[in-house]
Each structure stands twice: as C-alpha cells, then as structure tokens.
Homo-oligomer: A and B are copies of this chain.
C-alpha cells in the first residue's frame, strides 16, 4: 500500500460518504478534501460543509455545476439523440465525467495524490469516475472503499458510525428509501429492493419527480421549443440557459406524467440489472430534437447519426466521455448541427409527448412545392423515377437473370 497524503473525496454529506471520510482517515492516515456538487439533484448542498467540518475536514469544496453540466455534457449528448439500449437516456452516466473532471481539478489545486468515491464495485459508476480520472491525470491514485472494505451492509455501516462517533441522523435513515437512488438535473434513478425481481411491477410511491399518467391533468399542455445549432435556447419564446431549460422541462414534464422508464439494462461490468428512471425533461428533449432534425437535417446525415448513435451512447454509458473516440464522434455530431434551427411545438398529455408542429424559417429542407400531392408545376419530374429505379435495380436484375434471384425469405 503506497503512501497517500491527501485524497479528494466526492462527498454527498450522506451516511456512506461520511463513513468513507473517517475510513480514509483511519486506513490511509491521510488528509481529506471533500467535494460536493450541486448538479441539480434537488437537495441542499450547503449542509455538507458543516458535516465535513465535523469530521475534521479542512479543505471543503462546494460547487454549483448545474450550468456546466447542462451546457457541456447534457446538451452535447442530446445533439446525438442518444439512447442506450433503445430506452435509457443516460442520466447517471452523463454526470460522472463532470464529477471526475472536478475531482481532478481539485486534486491539482490542493496537491492531492488520490481521489475517492462512494460507488460500489458492481456498478458502472466506479468505471466512469475512474476512467475519467485516469484520462485527465494518469498518475492519480484512486481509492474505491466499497471494493476494499468489509462494510458490505447497512448494518455494518451503522455499527462503524457508532464505533467512530460519526453523527448519523437515525430518523432520516429509518425513513430512507428502500431503493438505491441517484439524482441530478437530468434524472433520478432507482435500483435494488423489490426491483431486483424483473417481473415485479414498480410501486407507485417509488417515483419522486413525476406524477403518474393517471394523476396527471386532464388537459394537455402545449410547449414551443426554440432550437439554435441543435440546442434549445428558448421555451415558449422565453430565452433560457441550458440548466433552466432542463429544469423547466422537468417541471412541466413531471407534472404531465412524462419520463418514467422501467428497464433491464446491461452494465459494462458484465451483468444485467433492473433500473427505473424518471427523466421528464430529457424525454421531451429527445422527441423534440428528432422533430427539429426531421425538418432541417439532410437525410444521409440523419441516417449516419442514427448508425453512430448506439456506439456514442455506449461510450457514455461505459464511462468513456473523456476518450479520444468520444471526441472524434462529437466532432462529427456537432458538425451536423449547424442548421438545426427552428421551433418544435409539442403537446404533453398524461405521459405522452406528442409532436404537433415543427418549423424553421431559415433551415427547413421540407420543400412543399416538391412534396405536394397536388400539381407541382414541374418542380419534380416523375419520369426521373424510372431511371432511378432501373439503375438501383440493375444489380438485382443481373443477379436474377443469372439464376440468383431472391428465393425464399
């Protein structure tokens, strides 16, 4: 065990990371720097200061990263219509590289030689934190207590608190959700507990950000989203920052029962797990962005994006945000968005996100004179289609003519 003198810990202020502070102090005899970020999880971060001080921490970082998160991580990801395994909007995955980056920046500022986090050894988050850290500072040491210690259950953590005089709010622990949860500006996730049986239906009281479709209003809500360069810059005509956009869409989406998801997903570490997610704003953004692109993007660019997307999503899910291959794909994606400008009109109703209109004064590629079922005054020569079909068919006709026709299905 090499010497470690100072560790930057991603610190939530909760039970687990409080135990980690003490455990790191004991095990490594090192100084701790705590880092607590507001990335829109919806809980106060200020109390983390007092808790860290109570544990003897002297260097305490508390940052509001909401705008950076939305602008530099969430928005670029949505430019690609990113979905993992056809369903998951990557709410947890996309926050981790920002935390990793900030941990390394703080390590550089404070002269720390290690970072630490509270992610378990079974999950994706450890990978995302650590790949990011190594990519940004290759010599950094990483301490992952959950992979090292023996405190494998809530009971042993509580016992550790008692033994080490860590103040615990037992009342709040009792009320604690039976689920393992993670929240940020983009989503809240639930795992564990009864969800470990993929046949069992989620309980209604698990969900926190959205009402159920049943409980949503009986009247629809209409929204207009304005895009510039593939990003939303205004909602219903009101200019908003990226974080404001996501917060606003979360609110209106959640109120309309939008954005719940219940899936079995494949973790990078090789196992399947059941996860439930609420992503009201993201669900709206995905649908709306596709609609904006449908009007303004060239067909082949759109198809190329669709083919590249699963790999891009996989890179983010697996923790490779800070890799050169993600950056290479991002260059292509960003290049495609210059003309994704205009307005999308949506109707939200009891869980449904319905696109009801899209327009682009400057960048529409929809040509009503050509597409019309009416007379087009020569804008399109129907006779061209014959040659188009004939030459596209030529290789098939040659094959069939040589007895290699498309037999069977």
Contacts and interface: CB of A to CB of B under 8 A. Distances in A.
Given A127-B385, A294-B263, A400-B138, A199 B311 contact: no
Interface string A256-272: 00001011111001111
Interface residues of A, number: 135
A176 B177 CA distance: 57
A307 B308 CA distance: 7
A351 B352 CA distance: 7
Interface string A341-378: 00001010111101111110001111110111111000
B399 A298 contact: yes
Contacts of A372: 192, 196
Given A298-B325, A355-B263, A138 B201 contact: no
Given A266-B299, A304-B328, A327-B335, 17 more contacts: A121-B382, A122-B380, A135-B405, A138-B398, A138-B400, A196-B373, A198-B358, A262-B356, A274-B366, A298-B323, A303-B325, A328-B332, A351-B351, A365-B404, A385-B387, A385-B391, A388-B392
A206 to B, nearest CB: 13
Interface stretch (A17-25, A145-153, A235-243, A246-254): A145-153
Nearest to A200: B357
Contacts of A107: none
30 contacts: A85-B294, A86-B306, A131-B392, A135-B400, A138-B398, A147-B383, A198-B366, A260-B354, A263-B291, A265-B294, A266-B294, A269-B391, A270-B391, A270-B392, A270-B393, A272-B295, A272-B367, A273-B371, A300-B324, A303-B314, A304-B328, A322-B406, A327-B409, A330-B409, A349-B350, A350-B351, A365-B398, A380-B394, A387-B387, A388-B391
A307 B199 CA distance: 28
A164 interface: no
Interface string A308-340: 001100100000101111011111101110010
Contacts of A137: 400, 405
Q: Which 7 interchain pairs have the tightest Cβ spacing?
A: A387-B387, A121-B382, A270-B394, A266-B299, A384-B387, A138-B397, A322-B406
Given A290-B87, A398-B271, A399-B298, A336 B307 contact: no
A87 B290 CA distance: 9
Interface of A: 72-73, 76, 81, 85-87, 120-122, 126-127, 130-131, 134-139, 144, 146-147, 152-153, 180, 191-193, 196-202, 213-214, 218, 220, 260, 262-266, 269-274, 290-291, 294-295, 298-304, 306-307, 310-311, 314, 320, 322-325, 327-332, 334-336, 339, 345, 347, 349-352, 354-359, 363-368, 370-375, 380-402, 404-406, 408-409
